[in-house]
Amino acid sequence: MMRIAYIVPYVPNLIRTRPYNFILQLVDLGHKVEVFTLGSNEQDHADIQTLRNKGAIVHYFELPVWRSLVNSALAVPGWQPLQTVYSWHAGLAHQIAERAADKDFDVVHVEHLRGSRYGLYLKSRIASQPVVWDSVDCISHLFEQASSQSRNWFGRFVTRFELPRTRRAEGQLICSFDQALVTSAADREALLRLLPAGKYPAPISVLPNGVDLDYFHPNPDIERDAGMIVFSGKMSYHANISMAKYLVGEIMPLVWRSRPDAKLFIVGKDPTTEVIGLGQNHLITVTGTVSDIRPYLWRAAVSVVPLLYGAGIQNKILEAMATATPVITSPRAITALRIVPGKDLSVADNAVEFSQQILRLIDDFDLMKQIGGAGEVYVRKHHNWRSITLQLLDIYMKVITSSATASRL
Sheet holding 346-347: strands in order across?
Answer: 284-288, 263-267, 225-232, 300-305, 327-329, 346-347
Please give the CATH number for the structural domain made up of 225-382: 3.40.50.2000
* Averaged pLDDT score across all residues of the chain: 92
Residue 13's pLDDT band (boundaries 50, 70, 90)? very high
Confidence of residue 332 (pLDDT cuts 50, 70, 90): confident
193 touches 170 (CB < 8 A) = no
Q: Which residue has the higher pLDDT, 15 or 251?
A: 251
What would the pLDDT profile of 282-299 be if each residue is shown by its tens digit?
Answer: 999 999 999 999 999 999
Q: Indicate if the pLDDT at residue 310 is higher than 90.
A: no
Please give the average per-residue pLDDT across 4-24, as a whole number.
95
Structure confidence at residue 312 as a pLDDT band (50, 70, 90): low
Segments of 47-137 assigned E as strands? 57-62, 107-111, 131-136
Intrachain domains 3-210+385-408 and 225-382 with the same fold: yes
Q: How crowded is the C-beta side of 275, counted as CA atoms within 13 Å? A: 29
Q: Is the pLDDT at 122 greater than 90, yes or no?
A: yes
d(CA 163, CA 182): 19
Question: Does residue 156 carry a pLDDT above 80?
Answer: no
CA angle 229, 233, 234 (to 5 degrees): 140
- Classify residue 30 as exposed, middle or buried by CB count within 10 Å of its CB (0-12, 13-18, 19+): exposed
Helix (H, G, I), strand (E, B) or coil at 359: helix
Strand partners, 35: 6, 58
Nearest to 125 by CA among 99, 105, 101, 109: 101
Q: Summarize the confidence of residues 376-392 as an average pLDDT.
A: 95
Q: Rounded to an integer, what distance in angstroms lies between the CA atom of residue 17 and that of residue 317?
A: 13
pLDDT digits (tens, 9 = 90+) for 214-246: 999 999 999 999 999 999 998 988 889 999 999
CATH T-level assignment (fold) for domain 3-210+385-408: Rossmann fold (3.40.50)
Q: How many CA atoms lie within 13 A of 404 on its CB side?
A: 8
Count Cβ atoms below 10 Å from residue 145 Cβ, excluding itself.
Answer: 17
The pLDDT score that the predictor gives to residue 187 is 92
Domain ranges of the chain: 3-210+385-408, 225-382
Taking residues 199-205, what's their average pLDDT?
93
pLDDT of residue 161: 86
115-129, 220-234, 277-291, 308-322: lowest mean pLDDT where?
Answer: 308-322
Helix (H) or strand (E) holding 86: helix 82-86
56 sits in which H/E element: none
Stated pTM of the model: 0.84
Partners of 359 in the β-ladder: none
- Res. 154: pLDDT tops 60: no
Residue 277 pLDDT: 96
pLDDT computed for residue 336 by the predictor: 79
Residue 333 or 114, more confident:
114
pLDDT value at residue 190: 94
How far apart, in whole angstroms, are the C-alpha atoms of residue 181 and residue 392? 9
Q: Which of 101-115, 155-169, 320-334 has the lowest mean pLDDT?
A: 155-169
pLDDT tens-place string over residues 261-276: 999 999 999 999 999 9
Provide the pLDDT confidence category of residue 409 given band limits of 50, 70 and 90.
Answer: low
pLDDT at residue 404 greater than cutoff 80: no
pLDDT of residue 219: 96
Q: Over the stretch 174-186, which tens digit does the pLDDT of each residue have?
A: 999 999 999 988 8
Decide if pLDDT at 148 tops 70. Answer: no
* Over residues 122-149, mean pLDDT: 89
Query: Does residue 398 or residue 312 have the better pLDDT?
Result: 398
Which of 295 and 144 is assigned the larger pLDDT?
Answer: 295
